[in-house]
Amino acid sequence: MNRNKIYKLIVFMVVVVAMLIAGYFFFIIHRNNVVNDVVVVPHSPLIKNTPLLWGAYVGDVANLAGFETMVGKKVNLYADFVGWTENFPLNLSGMVGQQGKTLIIFWEPSFGYDNILNGSQNDYIKQFALDAKSYSYPIILVPFDEMNLNEEAWGYGKNNNSADKFKAAWRYIHDSFADDPNVKFGLAYNNLSVPDTIDNSFANYYPGSAFVDYVGVDGFNFANPWQTFGQVFDSGMEKVATYKKPVIIFSAASDAGPGKATWIRDGLGSHIKTYKNVIGWVWFNQGGTPNWLVNSDAQSLTAFKNVLP
């Protein structure tokens, strides 16, 4: 065989090997993109000028269609509260998952972290994870929301709780969902730590980057005294931005009052866009006292419609 033929053979072999390597990496990247398409909310996080996601908590899912009709748009995010005596809400598949909406679950126990870390909840957690996987549509799971508030069973100072136990319980639960490709984890702080102490600080509760997909803040204008959107959220949003994760305001609302329309218009229309890494928000649409409803007055409803992405 002459040198020319040998040279051509070598070139051919190099091209074949290069094509095989390129094909392998294309497969890996494509496979990962397919997985990400399933588990990530339909949004490109951390990209400027991308429309924000928005959603609502409307009580029962039966109220969702009426809420969407009232505001004139369909939500991207549907929020629900699930206690640890309740099964995974598979019934939401039709009205939420199949409609392209991401399900946010605030998962709230009626006990402290010791009852999770001692293994007594293992069977329940395992079944919840299995049901979440079978649901198959995108889920953001938010265990122990507002853990830096001293009100609920999982909150600061209750049931011998501590930030270290919170982190241990969080990681334990996170690992229990390792086989659920459709589940991401969201960490939701109260906008202010109560009490405002070092051991109850935002930083003390962070479980680690490998255990968190989204971070966020809950905040409300209780109107006593009246607070602007910035007064409610600026401090907390500045803190969670340091984690360099996609940020969601997991719960927001204002009580009724003459300034509510302005609160909505300025807050959700412009001020929210000044926060780093923010990708979306959820309105807590409940009546009573305080009155968080977007239609507590006509001006507020109009303002809400106008700020929807």
pLDDT digits (tens, 9 = 90+) for 5-17: 555 555 555 555 5
Banded pLDDT at 24 (limits 50, 70, 90):
very low
Predicted local distance difference test score (pLDDT) of residue 15: 53
Mean pLDDT of 180-184: 98
| Residues sharing a CB contact under 8 Å with residue 288, sequence separation 6 or more, in sequence order | none
Predicted local distance difference test score (pLDDT) of residue 50: 76
Report the top-level CATH class of 40-307: alpha beta
Alpha carbon 103 to chain centroid, angstroms? 9
Predicted local distance difference test score (pLDDT) of residue 46: 47
pLDDT at 184 over 70: yes
pLDDT digits (tens, 9 = 90+) for 83-121: 999 999 999 999 999 999 999 999 999 999 999 999 999
Mean pLDDT of 175-203: 97
